[in-house]
Structure 1
Amino acid sequence: MNEHVRLEPRVAPCRAACPAGIDVPRYVREIRDGDFDAALATIREKIPFAAVCGYACFHPCEAKCARRQFDEPVAIRLLKRAAADLAHTVPPPAPAASTGRKVAVVGSGPAGLTAAYYLALKGHAVTVLEAASRPGGMLRWGIPEYRLPNDVVENEIAHITATGVTITTGAAVRSPEDLLASGHDAVLVATGAWTPVKLGVDGETAAGVLDGIDFLKRANAGETVALGKTVAVIGGGNTAIDAARTAIRLGAQTTLVYRRGRIAMPASAEEIAEAEEEGLGFVFEAAPVTIEAGRLTCVKLAPKEGGSGRGATLVAVDGSDFTIACDTVIVAAGQQADAAALKLKVARGGTVAVDDKAATSVPGVFAAGDVVSGPSTIIDAIASGRTSASAVDIFLGGDGNIDPPRVEPIEADAPLGGPRRRRLASKKADPAERAKSFALVEDGFDAAMARSEAERCLACQTHHHTVEITTDICKACGYCGEICTMGVFGMSDTFNAIGYQPAVALHPEQCIGCLKCFAVCPDFAIAVR
């Protein structure tokens, strides 16, 4: 018996993995053809922060790139940066006719500014209210310039204000209901998650103990921060890594303390590796106990008896206390939102409670970004800003369609497998040199490199295959599922005549025709056409 499935057209896995739904294959194809202006316009259909994401996105699209079946994923993030760096000035689309509706956006981070951008394009009058002295939120204050230069953020914000968005800084908001009372038709709260999570250890509030986000904010503002010669950073996320790399650049010998192992660190693996190259030391499976002048006392941790795996409960190991000499301790154990400060209904972790349409418990008040989700990524915040912009537009009488119209070109098939060429690597500054300054660590692609890398795209969404499994002879070895990173195969719930639960093509639409399953099957039970 054969299981035979005919594939239908599908969304490319890279596009499906993007929280904002960017048409990755299209802009990669446009870069391949040398049309960087068109590529930038394609990216901006879904996000106003093309350059920001090109420099600092954690690129979930690459983790799903079908090219992994052949060698390495396409360098999608760097191609996005190339589109932003190499395009000519591409103005935003002309806003729709004025609706006469006024929207206040509280907070100028990626979620708030994304929503403001698309609402302005829909014809609404949008004012962004920012408590800080300059707009940008975590993009400006939380990401060091060696990863994301401030002038890149400035240029992106200028593109957004070109749509008519007004940004007022130094404008703290205590109640969004007051904004409704003052004449706004809708309010979007996008204040982020800035409240530090406390460790709950002795000495945490003493002199010489800094909060990670506050430290980064001060450093990014150009303020001189006295650290001394040695620094200990507590935490394992991107804020902890950024704080540690910043401390190194300020001349301190720096050690990072994390309660689990390296593989469990939530920070980007690339950032962790770069930090290690720059001289960051690591102490894993340890937790702080007390903080005193000149030293941090920690205890070793181990899985609770009977526990294992990345999520195992950890307990202190008796008698394992040790000290780390340090002049400064930077605590970067996480942040929380503070919905209560805005007099909004509070959900888990201090976040704002919203429904599936991003609406809060106050009619006319919506919320987006980290203030809803808790600390997340740039692209997730942008995606949340898009969702909330659509919801606000519908509330104001619009259709909720925030994407500017574009003509979809006819897409030609690319050769299956693409050119047999390894992924191009960006050039990075020498670790010893980059640890001395806040100069950009990574060079981008020039036009020739970008076009060459774009040629590696398989255009997998244009190829359609049938997957046939002769289930009568399959002995359920599972090799097909192990070799296929596209998630095509699973196991049947029923048994065949020879007593095995055979493999089945659960998601044949994901097949790219690499034939690795065919080559690895010991029963010769798989055919792909």
Structure 2
Amino acid sequence: MNALAAKMAPCQEACPAGVDVPRYVRHLRDGRFTEALAVVRERIPFPLVCGHACFHPCEAKCGRRQLDDAVAIRMLKRTAAEQGESLALAEARPASGRTAAVIGSGPAGLTAAWYLALQGHAVTVFEALERAGGMLRFGIPAFRLPDEAVDAEIVRIVQAGVKLRTGVRIASAQALLQQGFDAVLIATGAWRSARMGIQGEDSPHVLDGLSFLRRVKAGAAPRLGQRVVVVGGGNTALDAARVSRRLGAQVTQLYRRGAAQMPASAEEVAAALEEGVAIDYLCAPVRIAAGQVICVRMALGAADASGRAQPVPLAGSEYAIAADTVIVAVGQSVELPVPGASAGAAQVDPATLATDIGGVFAAGDSVLGPASIIEAIAQGRRAAAAMDSFLGGDGAIDRPAAADPAAAPIASARGTPRQQWRIIGSELRLRGFDLVEQAYDPAATAAEATRCLSCDLRDYAVEVNPAVCKDCGYCAEVCELGVFSRSDQFNAAGYQPAVADRSERCIGCLNCIYICPDFAITVTQRALQPTA
């Protein structure tokens, strides 16, 4: 049977690593866990890690959101990784005789090492800490990402031929070239914590968030006392707050903007609140004294360079919060292993990730600053392809799995609820570091996978009648897939009509037709063309 010529679904387009979501979800729908896992591994060597801890930008663009709730793509990935059988390693190319060094064993470094090894190059990864994994191991608490998951992925990478040297700090990338490596990748994580620059910050009872998380993961948790104040609004701050609760402290988290501007994921915020973390918004510490943090209230002003409203202190609004320990997590930066380089992002060619030092590349946090797991993996993929070309290869790093059988876009009806996975209760969570989320069973996996619309197998022609459209904008408001924009021309009635200039994104929800008061929109389904 001929397969259908699929288009790229919005979820795949949103994934920095380009994981073919609809294809692996269809395998799960039909109970083919091993085949689903093979599809995920086409693009990432960390399916289990991402199934636990990815911030899933794919779900934010899921076409199912046009009908009800996004498909639980992250949890389906975890199910594929846990239920899929152990697959044979992709066949490595013949030894190239070339060598590569990777500085840092986080997701970017290990991803690049994996692909370079499969290309036939001899790869050595240098890690300053005592165990490999970088931020995956030491920056994310075990209740979100257990060591066993990290270990399982690293074992597979080592089986591909990657050599790991832990406890080795590299101060100079050039020195590795001088030692005989043909190419070097800088993939150090953003381990340097930012400072607030306030009085009392150097007090012994003030800890930085990353060091705190690392100490806890290493089994050397510090004594916190009964009252902990955590400063910051990102995932590191939330993780520090949730860990502190598990260590028995009462926790107040301070964030200088409002809840809507908080960069941490909404899921993690909700979990922290369930576990008893109190979050105080629109406030900032101005000094730290013995047993307390002095704060001021903030108001949101004009947008800053990031596009977010700039917090402005309110005069006369000082107040104190009791604190035995203060944990600061207000930002991170990278210390680059290049002589004379200051903390910050490496300057690279945007196409190749090559630095201005011949043979030295950079990826992950070293380029992006603090980034997500999936963004780091995508950087590692790009670096591997560029380094392979530099080392004499063709830069083609993908190992495609078999295509799924020809399929029609079958999906459960509008309004079908998202399958909920089991989460252990908040009281039980606070007794230790047990994994909070429990994966789907096979029945729930099939039910959730059936909610997928297979957007890659849907093709619709969307047209707007410019003569009758009155530019109300409702179509663009209800379409989260970006099908509609506004014409730069006026019609006879003096309106700038809508234009369906991204018709290929349509998944056939018909929300635009339902809301259009002028009956100006038509949506016609087209048949995808079969390929040999």
The answer, yes or no, to whether TM exceeds 0.5 is: yes
1:232 equivalent in structure 2? 229
Q: Does 1:152 align with 2:149?
A: yes
Q: Does 1:289 align with 2:286?
A: yes
Name the CA shift for 1:281/1:420 in 2 (closer, same or farther; >3 Å): closer
Q: Deviation string for 1:357-404 (max 9, x for gaps)?
A: 111111001111001110010000000000000010000000101111
Q: Give the CA deviation at 1:435.
A: 1.9
Q: Is the 8 A contact 2:193 2:208 kept in 1?
A: yes
The answer to whether structure 1 residue 428 and structure 2 residue 423 are counterparts is yes
Counting only pairs closer than 5 Å after superposition, residues 489-528 of structure 1 correspond to structure 2 as 489-528=484-523
Counterparts in 2 of 1:30 and 1:101: CA distance versus 1, 3 Å: same
Q: Which one of the candidate residues 328, 347, 357 is aligned to 1:353?
A: 347
User: 5+ residue gaps in structure 2?
Assistant: 525-532
- Report how far residue 122 of structure 1 moved: 0.4
- Note if 1:179 corresponds to 2:176: yes
Distance 2:223 2:341 in 1: 39
Query: What is the alpha-carbon distance in structure 2 between the residues aligned to residue 196 and residue 306 of structure 1?
Result: 25
Amino acid in the other structure paired with 1:240: A
**Distance (whole Å) between structure 2 residues aligned to residue 254 and residue 483 of structure 1:** 40
1:381 aligned to which of 347, 356, 376: 376
8 Å contact 1:344–1:361 — kept in the other structure? no
* Residue of 249, 253, 276 corresponding to 1:252: 249
After superposition, the Cα gap between the structure-2 partners of 1:166 and 1:374, relative to the gap in structure 1 and judged at 3 Å, is same
Q: Match of 2:469?
A: 474
- After superposition, the C-alpha distances for 1:22-80 in whole angstroms (9 at most, x for unaligned) are 01111101111111111111111110000000000000000111011111111100000
Offset from partner CA, 1:218-270 (integer Å, 9 cap, x none):
00111131000000000000000000000000000000000001111100100
Structure 2 residue 324 is matched with structure 1 residue 327: yes
Q: Which of 415, 420, 442 is the aligned partner of 1:447?
A: 442
Aligned equivalents of 1:409 and 1:26: distance in 2?
A: 7
> Which residue number corresponds to residue 197 of structure 2?
200
Q: How does 1:77-116 map to 2 (within 5 A)?
A: 77-116=74-113
Alignment partner of 2:217 out of 206, 220, 237: 220
Amino acid at match of 1:55: H
Q: Is the 8 A contact 2:200 2:288 kept in 1?
A: yes
Aligned to 2:362: 367
Aligned to 2:529: none
Q: Choose the corresponding residue for 2:338, options 338, 342, 352.
A: 342
The match for 1:415 is 410
The answer to whether the 8 Å contact 1:141/1:220 transfers is yes
Q: Is the 8 Å Cα contact of residues 478 and 511 (structure 2) preserved in structure 1?
A: yes
Query: Displacement, 1:311?
Result: 2.0
The residue number in structure 2 matching 1:3 is none
- Distance in 2 separating the partners of 1:386 and 1:9: 23
Matched to 2:349, the amino acid is D
Q: Which runs of 5+ in 1 are unaligned?
A: 1-7
Task: Give the conservation status (yes or no) of the 8 Å contact 1:72–1:422.
Answer: yes
* 1:65 counterpart (57, 62, 66): 62
Secondary structure at the aligned position of 1:375 is classed as: coil
1:459 to 449, 454, 458: 454
TM-superposed deviation, 1:90: 1.5
Corresponding residue pairs, total: 518
Describe the superposition over 1:121-179 as per-residue Cα deviations: whole angstroms up to 9, x where unpaired: 00000110101000000000000000000111000100110101010101110111111
Does the residue aligned with 1:482 lie in a helix, a strand or coil? helix
Any residues of structure 2 matched to 1:308-327 within 5 Å, and which? 311-327=308-324
In 1, Cα distance between the equivalents of 2:9 and 2:263? 26
Query: SS in structure 2 opposite 1:527?
Result: strand
**In 2: Cα distance, 1:160 partner to 1:13 partner:** 30
Contact 2:411 2:452 in 1 (8 A): no
CA 1:306–1:507 in 2, change beyond 3 Å: closer, same or farther?
closer
Q: CA deviation at 1:418?
A: 5.1
In structure 2, distance between residues paired with 1:481 and 1:396: 47
CA contact (8 A) 1:344 1:360 kept: no
CA contact (8 A) 1:418 1:458 kept: no
Q: Corresponding residue for 1:35? A: 32
Matching of residue 170 in structure 1 with residue 164 in structure 2: no
Decide whether the 8 Å contact of 2:287 with 2:294 is kept in 1. Answer: yes
CA RMSD of aligned residues (A): 1.6
Deviation at 1:501, TM superposition (A): 0.6
SS in structure 2 at match of 1:19: coil
Shift of 1:185: 0.7
**CA positional deviation for 1:120:** 0.3
Residue deviations 1:255-305 (CA, integer Å, cap 9, x gap): 000000111110010000000000000111111111112100011111348
Give the match's secondary structure for 1:452. helix
Q: Is the 8 A contact 1:344 1:352 kept in 2?
A: no
In the TM superposition, residue 490 of structure 1 has moved relative to its aligned partner by: 1.3
Q: TM-score, normalised by structure 2?
A: 0.95
Q: Quickly say closer, same or farther: Cα 1:306–1:44, change in 2 above 3 A.
A: closer
Question: What is the aligned partner in structure 2 of residue 4 from structure 1?
Answer: none
Match status 1:273 vs 2:267 = no
Instruction: Check if 1:13 corresponds to 2:13.
Output: no
TM norm structure 1: 0.95
For 1:92 and 1:446, the matched residues in 2 are separated by: 26
Shift, 1:331, TM fit: 0.3
CA change 1:416–1:463 in 2 (3 A) is: farther
Is 1:303 aligned to residue 297 of structure 2?
Answer: no
Q: 1:10 to 1:299 in 2, by over 3 A?
A: same
Q: Kindly indicate whether the alpha-carbon contact (under 8 Å) linking 2:67 and 2:414 is maintained by their aligned counterparts in 1.
A: no
In the alignment, the residues of structure 2 paired with residue 513 and residue 151 of structure 1 have an alpha-carbon distance, to the nearest angstrom, of: 42
